[in-house]
Amino acid sequence: MNLLKFIIQNPIISIVTKLIRPFPKFSFLFNTSFYQNQVNLKFWFFQKVLKIGGNHQAYWPVHPTSQVYDTENILVGVDSYPGIMKGCYIQGKGGIEIGDYTQIAPNVVIVSANHDVYDSRKHIEAKVTIGKYCWLGAGCKIMPGVTLGDFTMVGAGAVVTKSFPEGHCIIGGVPAKQIKELDKEKCIRYELEPKFYGYIAANKFEAYRKKYLKV
């Protein structure tokens, strides 16, 4: 650990950053600084090179304390990185799709499959779909089969067991219920350029999706 600390804190990181700038593979480091979820060299190095945390197969940034499974069944949008914050559990067995610019707080759980109550050896899969511009508050849980429309704000600690496909609302509680309807006219739909799906530039993502993803 002392070696890792030295590497991170040493000025060599700055030198390496300058050396890799010309390479397109690392363009995400220099073109996402204005994203809400910024990706830096240290984050990428921990995840993709040192493989700390076991999330190296994810094509988006994942914190080493978070766990992401079945990444081939997970489709993330621009600046939407499930697990980038600490302590998240993301299980994509039944499929997960998350729209652009959706923010996910620490300790969030998203599961797309659960044990059969009559036979725990079996899993019942159901896709989870989360729209654009959503916010999943700290510690909330999104259960299999749930669909959340654009601009759905999920309160901290909520357990979402049913869908809110119309979106534009604040939900919370156990189980989650609508607390407030949002004024659609006040909801701002912004776009960021250039676009990156995790570590992958938008113009290369479709090819990556066809080759590696099942969603």
Q: Could you tell me the CATH number of the domain that includes residue 110?
A: 2.160.10.10
Q: What pLDDT is attached to residue 12?
A: 63
Residue from 56, 63, 115, 168 carrying the catalytic annotation: 115
Total domains present in the chain: 1
Q: Nearest CA to 20 among 3, 46, 40? A: 40
Please give the average per-residue pLDDT across 172-193, as a whole number: 97
Burial class (CB in 10 A: 0-12, 13-18, 19+), 119: exposed
Residues facing residue 110 across a β-bridge: 90, 142
Q: Nearest CA to 163 among 151, 137, 145? A: 145
Q: What pLDDT is attached to residue 4?
A: 54
Residues facing residue 171 across a β-bridge: 154, 178
Please give the average per-residue pLDDT across 19-26, as a whole number: 82
pLDDT over 80 (residue 5)? no
What Å distances lie between residue 164 and 31, 87, 142, 169, 195, CA to CA?
34, 25, 12, 8, 27
pLDDT over 60 (residue 7)? no
pLDDT tens for residues 32-68? Answer: 889 998 887 888 888 998 898 889 999 999 999 999 9
Active site residue 63: no
Please give the average per-residue pLDDT across 146-152, as a whole number: 98
pLDDT tens for residues 120-141? Answer: 999 999 999 999 999 999 999 9
pLDDT tens for residues 63-93? Answer: 999 999 999 999 999 999 999 999 999 999 9
Q: Is the dihedral of CA 6, 29, 37, 84 positive or negative?
A: negative
pLDDT tens for residues 95-121? Answer: 999 999 999 999 999 999 999 999 999
Can you give the residue range of the structural domain that contains 13? Answer: 2-212
